[in-house]
Structure 1
């Protein structure tokens, strides 16, 4: 849980290359299996191991519903109490819920066939939706920070402390429900990314409990407790913005996680007839991966045999990297 939180906040390396796989190899190479803790959480980026299964999409849809209901309940209480800490937490929970939005948009466009203009289809819409989500979360963070700072210099009485405490508890229970749900479904479909999302929701629940601490601080005679908690939660939202923007723009610029190339080279070790992997290039189109690979073979092999080896390699790649939807394999003669 702690590692997931650090990755999400951008303070630990993000081993997101595992998002392309989530596949534990049955070749006795345990160092290539991906565990539950190998995934960070990124708003606006769709994980391939979740998007590739109907149950994963189903989990995302219901997570969206639960978090949105939690957010709406908190909005009503913000209007009643005027708590900026609760406002910041509400914005935070809305940011979590909105992760499902690019997923829905992307799948609507991904269903459209490629055309003479859009030869690779419209999967890039997912990246554009991610940029929009990051922008909205950034705006929300700035607004929450502004309100918290303004309230810090101009304290105002917080009304209905008991209701405010209840709102914090509602936020915690909503996030915990999503956490349990995502972790359970993630284990059922063997998706480390969905499990990590569950742990992220659990960490967010502690953010909602911070609202309770702020309310108790106000009740004990420390009116600044509310805006201080609001600033803490605002800092958490800025952490989301930084980590998400880094991932989204990396993909938009055709960047991929270095581990993907390592996985492609490793897979060649399980295909008899491949002497070496000379070059690897890969790129994301939405949550789908495409790759170009140059491999070296014995120059004396018949063309038909070389074709069978290349076909075998392609099948192995798609088994090792479920997100890989298209791969172009070029063969070269190995140096004698």
Structure 2
């Protein structure tokens, strides 16, 4: 027996009955109590209606789009200022920083497309919706970071082989400071928004912008070395910027790889298991699985019930289990709950044992049900 999104009306009745019993979710009267109440709603939203879920997903997408376009505007302005100074000074270190900032600004485009696609409703072709578009955007971002590293490296190596003096050193130093300020603002904004809405791609992009800020400051060292007559200081800083970009590439690639491989924080699984164990009437808890679909989570869970319950009673426990999961796990929008029972007459999973890929599942179900 499964409690899926098709049973959302069940949640509506559950919440309605809960309210009628004298537990309506009305804000407390005192100001401190209202603050605590609002914070509790931020951590554990109380509405599970499908309409509310659509509104929440749309709102987070709008927030993500706003972050992306503001980031694009700030980084675009930063890049234009630095490009002018590159043309005047010929600094290869500043050129590398400018290339990287331009790449970072342009990564807003694939993420923007991903957020727009993520708003589309699920259909028979894509029954889980279009949230995976964010993962594809993450791949494009990783590719953009790799390309910017290659361009910066080529420019720095060419300047090492063909050294020349740079001019307008004060302008180069000022451009470096502008680059740091612009990137740090964008980094804080992207990381904060990405973590709030659960977007790994946006967090990865924020980490990229943060390192860009420190590489912008490194340009100051190149300008200082050039001021003391060290002609190789500028291209050496350019190579160091390339190395910093490679570190960002490693972190971003790991983040995107984990998302593509359906990785989740193990603490989320532990939270879900604890929530299920707290549901009255369950005899045990079997395997719990989760995966990200865009910036929302979906879960599958097995529960163990008394074998003598009616179908209606077992289904009520399955709905209660899903309800507990949605309350306990942030960003979880739906859970499919499979009901098993403690040992009775024979093993109901026996017909599945010979199917490829089902042996482990059957064994896990037996373990969860306390079978020998």
- Fold match, TM over 0.5? yes
Matching residue of 2:121: 113
| Partner residue of 2:301 out of 290, 293, 300 | 293
| Partner residue of 2:260 out of 237, 245, 252 | 252
Summarize the Cα distance change of 1:276–1:228 in structure 2 as closer, same or farther, 3 Å threshold: farther
More RCO (CA 8 Å, sep 6+): 1
Matched, 1:93 2:107: no
Give the whole-Å Cα distance in 2 for the aligned partners of 1:233 and 1:301.
65
Whether the 8 Å contact between 2:61 and 2:116 is mirrored in structure 1 is no
Matched, 1:331 2:339: yes
SS at match of 2:283: strand
> Cα deviations across residues 40-63 of structure 1 (Å, max 9, x unaligned)?
xxxxxxxx9998375455344323
Whether the 8 Å contact between 2:94 and 2:219 is mirrored in structure 1 is yes
Matched, 1:168 2:173: no
Aligned pairs (5 A) from 1:41-56: 52=60, 54-55=62-63
Summarize the Cα distance change of 1:246–1:110 in structure 2 as closer, same or farther, 3 Å threshold: same
Q: Which moved more, 1:94-103 or 1:68-77?
A: 94-103
Aligned pairs (5 A) from 1:164-313: 164-178=172-186, 204-313=212-321
Matched, 1:153 2:161: yes
- TM-score for the superposition, normalised by structure 2: 0.67
Matching residue of 2:111: 103
Matching residue of 1:128: 136
Q: Which moved more, 1:61-70 or 1:226-235?
A: 61-70
Whether the 8 Å contact between 1:49 and 1:322 is mirrored in structure 2 is no
Matching residue of 1:70: 78
CA drift of 1:95 comes to 4.2
SS at match of 1:274: coil
Give the whole-Å Cα distance in 2 for the aligned partners of 1:83 and 1:276.
66
Give the whole-Å Cα distance in 1 for the aligned partners of 2:93 and 2:59.
34
CA drift of 1:90 comes to 2.0
Q: Which runs of 5+ in 1 are unaligned?
A: 1-22, 27-47
CA drift of 1:330 comes to 0.4
CA drift of 1:253 comes to 3.4
> Cα deviations across residues 121-172 of structure 1 (Å, max 9, x unaligned)?
2222222222122112111101111211221232121121111111101112
Q: Which moved more, 1:323-332 or 1:58-67?
A: 58-67
Matching residue of 1:9: none
Bigger fraction of residues in helix:
2
Summarize the Cα distance change of 1:294–1:214 in structure 2 as closer, same or farther, 3 Å threshold: same
Give the whole-Å Cα distance in 1 for the aligned partners of 2:57 and 2:203.
11
Give the whole-Å Cα distance in 2 for the aligned partners of 1:183 and 1:243.
14
Matching residue of 2:358: none
Summarize the Cα distance change of 1:99–1:320 in structure 2 as closer, same or farther, 3 Å threshold: farther
Matching residue of 1:19: none
Summarize the Cα distance change of 1:227–1:120 in structure 2 as closer, same or farther, 3 Å threshold: same
> Cα deviations across residues 81-102 of structure 1 (Å, max 9, x unaligned)?
2212112222333344345333
CA drift of 1:211 comes to 0.8
Give the whole-Å Cα distance in 2 for the aligned partners of 1:282 and 1:185.
22
Whether the 8 Å contact between 2:75 and 2:104 is mirrored in structure 1 is yes
Summarize the Cα distance change of 1:275–1:159 in structure 2 as closer, same or farther, 3 Å threshold: farther
Give the whole-Å Cα distance in 1 for the aligned partners of 2:295 and 2:232.
44
SS at match of 2:164: coil
- TM-score for the superposition, normalised by structure 1: 0.74
CA drift of 1:105 comes to 1.1
